[in-house]
Structure 1
């Protein structure tokens, strides 16, 4: 791709006087007014989220016993455990969100973004790259921001994992594994992210007035590549994937997939139990190359080959560890229930939910890049964030897509939550049409129990936050059969 080719790019709909006027549009607000509005909206969103969280916290505090409509669905002991677990998470989230808003506000007021940019310039200057090498400075800027973020995030993550999750029996990690995992994720993320960011800056620089079209196409291609290679090459760096052994469950899953023409190519079990006791299942792949992945914690009767009786791993366990394993109640779903969960997941594929979400996300990305193209060279916006003689592309992306777009992002997030809940009900109905309603109902109850999900929710909190309908709504919609 070269500058001459891009110069020939013409989009008749966009090449109009109105669009040209918008391209040169300058907001009437002063830099101070823009920053004040951004901080005010950021704080307003925090207050709104805190209000919703407080409503749910009151539900957790005041609903001490199993409500009448849940009798027979959840016993009092499990209900109390779920309540205590979610209370702990609720308190933690209050503190975590308070820290985030204070830190973010301080960064905006004290000029944290320009400080990072100019510090990145000094660092890149040590290696002989001055201000004219924006791509190099951008890479350093992104790397510096990632390092700062992970340093600030680790204490919160440690507490969540080794205090809250440990207290309620979910954590399976050691401290060594935790840090090894963090380092590995950081290296892999930077190896992917930094070249992509460098390419984005280059495209904006050489793309002309309609660079956003090329930028959008580039991001579409990158997202499709990552979706393709993630599960086969990236995910196995962090978790062990093994083929589901031959047997009744495998045969029934293959039969279910064939009955709805799902092009199943591979069937894996991921050893999620080394990380957490939470369970899940998903499918991935394009066109006729689909894979299904089951978490070992989802399968009640599954034992990894490396943990069978007499294996080296089992021999290395201490007496205390073996006693703990024996005393731990068996969790997970039966084969019938696993089939019902997969029927729900396959319903998302059959009803094109994945494709619909992909189309929505790409249309949204195109619109965001188009608006970014209108605003990213605006002097007033950059001045509001402390940039008076430079207009770095990466800073423009952060300012516009994160802060200027904040009201739009909140509305879109809520609408996508509404759509997601609708898709979940539709997938449940699909499973019901396959005569899996009773087993899916049972599986949902077990998964809620095993994950200590609290089944009672404040309606407003749930409507705003829950992309999946609450347990009670789903089992009512499924009925008894």
Structure 2
């Protein structure tokens, strides 16, 4: 039996494992995936286009105006996504067909010559290759990013960035990303160069260490480079969060607010940290009455106990204005008050109240209590080990490099070809399975919050967040199953039920 298997493998290798066959197999598969993804995206696009009236099942969840706004937002985003993916696939195909990767590899050697560096210095040449490639990619993608923020997001009221903020943010992201790459990549190449037959174990251990290190330092040292983080002020919300954490034995050390409103009006909340050093982060856009953050980063006082206090203050201000203006009539005064009330209600539309925020955190704490993060980490570690094992088996084969126009065998190119191209079918399958697992975890976390008697508040929060973020609530079943890691709103509400 083993002889037959060995003979079959040998025949396959002799007949099919050659540069042209490998290249075209990878190229054709990439287009199959693109066509499939485009087909699924088009199915969802048709659903959005054809759903022009508010479905009956959404009555009491979304009003007609919000529904139409969500529909318009979804149409614009889907169009952009379809065009961007078409451009990206075309550009990637040009790179492969025109041998632009080996060309850039040769250019990297040329750029080293003025500094007296020999092209045989693989680590240095790799760093030049990566940084030049990243710069080209950033410049090419910049118009798409600009259009997404300042046309689509701006049109639908989500973009909060100024152009100067956007420019600084892009520059910071690029340099921080490249700095991290320039630290980690040489170590990876050195381990592969110097390691023995079991180098993949050392590489796996090193990359695992980097993953845990980045999870630890990113929130404290990297994320604050881009957004402002301040502790949640003392008050009833902080006390309730602390009490909830203590009740679940969650080792909470700090609650932060991130000033996401300078970037976007989309909202979020998450937990991070290891062992007994856990933190909670709330986006200010998640909160109905977020504390104001001064330029110096100091916290301003905020009465968090009653959402109505702000409304009363606005009404009092309106009354003062009316009283101090001698030519304001009673009718005008009444109209001014009504307009103020209307503006106040409009402001109150976005964000969640304290109980809803606690329900959202109950969901997030459910992920922790049910070990979802640990499960995902274990899966990621096993996948990484498996990938490095296969890489160790294949990376010295010249066919892999010749298929993409390389005469030599740069380690980085071997990593890219094997993990991105040869592993593409495997990555598609695993990606779908991880989407299914994540959806299962989301239902589990919702159920955890429900068991905490917070189903009503979580239901209300999900509806508010869906409306605030203009989430279009009608999905094609195939698109939902393959693209949504979080279940659609209606499915989550159905699972929660209407009451605790």
- Tell me if TM exceeds 0.5: yes
Q: 1:26 to 1:234 in 2, by over 3 A?
A: farther
Counterparts of 1:350 and 1:165, CA distance in 2: 35
Counterparts of 2:95 and 2:137, CA distance in 1: 12
Counterparts of 2:199 and 2:111, CA distance in 1: 29
Q: Deviations over 1:107-153 (max 9, x none)?
A: 00000110111111111222122122000000111101110110111
Counterparts of 1:182 and 1:443, CA distance in 2: 32
Residue of structure 1 aligned with 2:441, choices 423, 433, 448? 423
> Is residue 27–residue 380 contact of structure 1 (8 Å, CA) maintained in 2?
no
Q: Deviations over 1:380-437 (max 9, x none)?
A: 111100112x100000011110011110000000000000000000000000000000
Q: Deviations over 1:68-115 (max 9, x none)?
A: 111111111000000000000011111100100100000000001101
TM-score, length-normalised on structure 2?
Answer: 0.87
Residue of structure 1 aligned with 2:369, choices 318, 343, 350? 350
Number of the residue aligned with 2:116? 128
Q: Residue 305 of structure 1: CA displacement? A: 4.0
Q: Residue 26 of structure 1: CA displacement? A: 7.6
Counterparts of 1:119 and 1:232, CA distance in 2: 38
For the residue of structure 2 that corresponds to 1:131, the secondary structure is coil
Counterparts of 1:362 and 1:81, CA distance in 2: 42
Number of the residue aligned with 1:198? 186
> Is residue 38–residue 403 contact of structure 1 (8 Å, CA) maintained in 2?
yes
For the residue of structure 2 that corresponds to 1:130, the secondary structure is coil
Number of the residue aligned with 2:483? 465
Alignment of 1:60-209 (within 5 A): 60-209=48-197
Number of the residue aligned with 2:498? 480
Q: Residue 327 of structure 1: CA displacement? A: 9.4
Residue of structure 1 aligned with 2:421, choices 386, 403, 416? 403
1:432 aligns with 2:432: no
Q: 1:74 to 1:326 in 2, by over 3 A?
A: closer
For the residue of structure 2 that corresponds to 1:294, the secondary structure is strand
Counterparts of 2:20 and 2:177, CA distance in 1: 35
Segments of structure 2 that go 5 or more residues without pairing to the other structure are 1-5, 302-339
Q: Residue 470 of structure 1: CA displacement? A: 0.4
TM-score, length-normalised on structure 1?
Answer: 0.90
Q: Deviations over 1:238-295 (max 9, x none)?
A: 1000100011100000000011100000100000000000000001000000000000
Counterparts of 1:379 and 1:59, CA distance in 2: 48
For the residue of structure 2 that corresponds to 1:418, the secondary structure is helix
Counterparts of 2:438 and 2:164, CA distance in 1: 37
Q: Residue 208 of structure 1: CA displacement? A: 1.8
Alignment of 1:313-324 (within 5 A): none
Q: 1:125 to 1:80 in 2, by over 3 A?
A: same
Q: 1:80 to 1:387 in 2, by over 3 A?
A: same
Q: 1:305 to 1:161 in 2, by over 3 A?
A: closer
Number of the residue aligned with 1:250? 238
Q: Residue 326 of structure 1: CA displacement? A: 7.3
> Is residue 203–residue 214 contact of structure 1 (8 Å, CA) maintained in 2?
yes
Q: Deviations over 1:342-377 (max 9, x none)?
A: 000000000000000001001000100100011111
Q: What RMSD, in angstroms, separates the aligned Cα atoms of the two structures?
A: 2.0
Number of the residue aligned with 1:52? 40
Counterparts of 2:393 and 2:470, CA distance in 1: 47
Number of the residue aligned with 2:311? none
Number of aligned residue pairs:
448
Segments of structure 1 that go 5 or more residues without pairing to the other structure are 1-17, 311-322
Q: 1:355 to 1:309 in 2, by over 3 A?
A: closer
> Is residue 47–residue 476 contact of structure 2 (8 Å, CA) maintained in 1?
yes
> Is residue 292–residue 300 contact of structure 2 (8 Å, CA) maintained in 1?
no
> Is residue 172–residue 277 contact of structure 1 (8 Å, CA) maintained in 2?
yes
Counterparts of 2:209 and 2:129, CA distance in 1: 24
Counterparts of 1:442 and 1:327, CA distance in 2: 17
For the residue of structure 1 that corresponds to 2:271, the secondary structure is strand
Q: Residue 328 of structure 1: CA displacement? A: 5.8
Q: Residue 329 of structure 1: CA displacement? A: 3.1
Counterparts of 2:300 and 2:72, CA distance in 1: 35
Residue of structure 1 aligned with 2:387, choices 368, 387, 393? 368
Alignment of 1:217-256 (within 5 A): 217-256=205-244
1:377 aligns with 2:365: no
Rg (Cα) greater in structure = 2
Number of the residue aligned with 1:452? 470
1:213 aligns with 2:201: yes
> Is residue 259–residue 293 contact of structure 2 (8 Å, CA) maintained in 1?
no
Q: 1:359 to 1:232 in 2, by over 3 A?
A: same
